[in-house]
Amino acid sequence: MDNHFTITIHDDNGVKQIHLHQFVKKAILYAVAFIMFLTLVAVSTILYLDYSVDAIQDKKEGVERAYEKLKLKNKKINEDMNNTKKLLLGKKRELDELSDSLDAIQIMIGMNPSADDATIQEKVDLTKLTSENMVALLQLVPNGSPIEYNGVTSKYGYRIHPTLNRREFHRGSDLKAKMNTPVYAPADGIVEFSGLHKASGFGNLVIINHSLGFKTYYGHLNKVVVKSKQFVQKGDLIAYTGNSGMSNGPHLHYEIRYLYTTLNPFFFIKWSIENYNEIFQKEKQVPWQSLVTATANLRVIKPTQTLLLSLKAQE
């Protein structure tokens, strides 16, 4: 068997023949195959690396985008935290002011300010209990002026009667008023009498029977707008002032009684939430502690404000 092969080369100098052993032939073939394999591996590696670089670049860009989003999110969180901090500081100031206001209210309504370690809710609950009791009492017991206050022409107590010209006890206060000045109920109650009352000299008269033993009289009226047995709420219109009966000019005779005992109306005219405790010292004929106890559990759903007085009421 021949283990050689011949390579023939033609050139300008003629023909040359090179005789190679079969082993060399195989070596060359293997070398060429190996080089092609290396080339394939190199190309594959280059393509893989290129793909990997692209993937890494994509991941890098994704991380950068996520980082930017995270930065924006952190910025928003910081802004929200700062806003929340400002809001909390504002709420703290409001709570401090509320606490101070509650202390002021407690002083105003005759309570000792709550202890410094008392919570806002505890202060509110305590103030609410006392204020609700005050509101109930001011809704049921006559307070404020039944008309726009412009002064008193004849006070409560002994006087010379303007028409009879004799000394007698004046059971009410004559409030200065022009004809047809509106008259309002100073507390909730039932109309006991409404109409012309000849025997008393009051002319057109309204009597309201209030709760807790109080009763009010409105004399010398020109016109009455409520009927007997009618319920009236504090602030309701009941009549218009006039000059009927034994009167020497337009005014309102205003009288307050407690269990048939006449009281000085002026103390009640000036009575309001602002000077709630004053009447307890000025009007001794009323058992106030008993009335406060009686109204301790009462709650007025829609209380009526005390009728406003003009500046003259404070004189």
* Higher pLDDT pick, 54 / 205: 205
pLDDT of residue 123: 54
Looking at the predicted structure, is the pLDDT value of residue 217 above 60? yes
Which of 65, 96, 127 represents a domain boundary (last residue)?
96
* 113 lies in some domain: no
Q: How far apart are CA 80 and CA 261, in angstroms?
A: 67
Looking at the predicted structure, is the pLDDT value of residue 310 above 60? no
Q: What percent of the chain has pLDDT over 90?
A: 36
* 83 lies in some domain: yes
Instruction: Please tell me the number of Cα atoms within 13 Å of 72 on its side-chain side.
Output: 5
302 and 187 in a common domain: yes
45 and 179 in a common domain: no
Domain extent at residue 43: 1-96
- Mean pLDDT throughout 157-186? 84
Residue 17 buriedness (CB in 10 A; 0-12 / 13-18 / 19+): exposed
* 307 lies in some domain: yes
Closest CA to 200 of 247, 242, 166, 232: 247
Task: Give the pLDDT band (50/70/90) at residue 184.
Answer: very high
pLDDT of residue 209: 97
Which of 45, 73, 96 represents a domain boundary (last residue)?
96
Question: Residue 257 is part of a domain; what is its CATH number?
Answer: 2.70.70.10
Query: Could you give the C-alpha distances from 269 to 29, 41, 109, 254, 265, in angstroms and in order?
Result: 128, 110, 18, 10, 6
Least confident segment among 203-212, 215-224, 241-250? 241-250
Which of 76, 96, 116 represents a domain boundary (last residue)?
96
148 and 89 in a common domain: no
pLDDT of residue 49: 87
**Structure-token match 């005014």, residue found:** 251
- pTM above the 0.85 mark? no
CA 196 from centroid of its chain's CA atoms: 48
181 and 308 in a common domain: yes
45 and 145 in a common domain: no
β-strands 214-224, 237-241 pairing: antiparallel
* 59 lies in some domain: yes
Average pLDDT over the chain reads 82
pLDDT digits (tens, 9 = 90+) for 268-301: 999 988 888 889 889 999 998 888 888 878 888 8
Number of structural domains found in the chain: 2
* 285 lies in some domain: yes
Task: Give the pLDDT band (50/70/90) at residue 252.
Answer: very high
Continuous segment of H or E residues that includes residue 215: strand 214-224
**Structure-token match 């209210």, residue found:** 105
pLDDT digits (tens, 9 = 90+) for 62-117: 888 888 899 899 989 998 999 988 888 888 887 777 666 656 555 544 445 555 55
What letter represents residue 30's amino acid? Y
Residues in the chain: 315
172 and 71 in a common domain: no
253 and 184 in a common domain: yes
* 189 lies in some domain: yes
CB atoms closer than 10 angstroms to residue 143? 23
Task: Give the pLDDT band (50/70/90) at residue 315.
Answer: very low
* 128 lies in some domain: no
- Mean pLDDT throughout 5-26? 66
Please say whether the beta carbons of 151 and 254 come within 8 A.
Answer: no
296 and 198 in a common domain: yes
Q: Which of 153-157, 165-169, 252-256 has the highest mean pLDDT?
A: 252-256
pLDDT of residue 133: 80
Looking at the predicted structure, is the pLDDT value of residue 18 above 80? no
Task: Give the pLDDT band (50/70/90) at residue 314.
Answer: very low
- Backbone φ and ψ for 224, nearest 5 degrees, come out as -110, 135
Looking at the predicted structure, is the pLDDT value of residue 23 above 70? no
